[in-house]
Chains A and B, each alone.
Chain A
Amino acid sequence: ETGVTQSPTHLIKTRGQQVTLRCSSQSGHNTVSWYQQALGQGPQFIFQYYREEENGRGNFPPRFSGLQFPNYSSELNVNALELDDSALYLCASSLGRGGFTEAFFGQGTRLTVV
């Protein structure tokens, strides 16, 4: 196991609602990245947090937002949920911002929007 934990594991929400997903990073890791994985596709980068600041963002609208706390845990918030937001949301922790480090993924949160 990676030591990266996400909660909840499954969630069902109604279109228009808001959701908060949580991630505890691996001990010693200061960088958390969030990915969205639709069924049958590869993970798509949402954004990354490094030492409590957003450090890069993918092609996701502003209703996707996040936070990183002093202990490097993180939250992903999604407002005004749409049906297409149904996906597996993965959190990955790593040490440092550079592109050379291995990413340790949590087990993910399966979000279903109805």
Chain B
Amino acid sequence: GQQVMQIPQYQHVQEGEDFTTYCNSSTTLSNIQWYKQRPGGHPVFLIQLVKSGEVKKQKRLTFQFGEAKKNSSLHITATQTTDVGTYFCAGPGGGATNKLIFGTGTLLAVQP
């Protein structure tokens, strides 16, 4: 079945350092979504990318969707302690449902 993998599983950075997480799907995706889950919290939607090669920015966060629409990345510039959490990419599972296939997630720890 469809699989979505993310690397790294865990990253620990000093505040102010940059951070990148990579997402790879076993199948071509019509779109990719990114969610952030704070420790003890629930996933919160960050962004959706639809077009091949698309790049979107949200303040210090930069999201990219690969040309082949099978991979994506999230880059955070100058991390802050508020960036702590697990970042998940998610792609549609196909068919008529709105189900999402979530990636394995990357847990970001930021040391002040």
Contact = CB atoms under 8 A, between A and B. Distances in A.
Interface of A: 2, 31, 33, 35, 41-45, 48, 50, 55-56, 58, 90, 92, 94, 96-108
A56 B30 CA distance: 18
Interface of B: 30-31, 33, 41-45, 48, 50, 88, 90-105
Contact of A101 (B43, B91, B98, B104): B98
A99 B30 contact: yes
B31 A41 contact: no
A33 B98 contact: yes
B96 A106 contact: no
A103 B45 contact: yes
B44 A45 contact: no
A4 B32 CA distance: 22
Contacts of B93: 45, 56, 99
B102 A96 contact: no
Contact of A99 (B31, B43, B88, B105): B31
B96 A42 contact: no
A58 B99 CA distance: 9
Given A50-B97, A103-B33, A105-B44, 5 more contacts: A31-B98, A33-B97, A43-B102, A48-B98, A107-B42
19 contacts: A33-B97, A33-B99, A35-B102, A45-B100, A56-B96, A98-B98, A99-B93, A99-B94, A99-B98, A99-B99, A100-B30, A100-B31, A100-B48, A102-B33, A103-B33, A104-B45, A105-B42, A105-B43, A105-B44
A41 B33 CA distance: 17
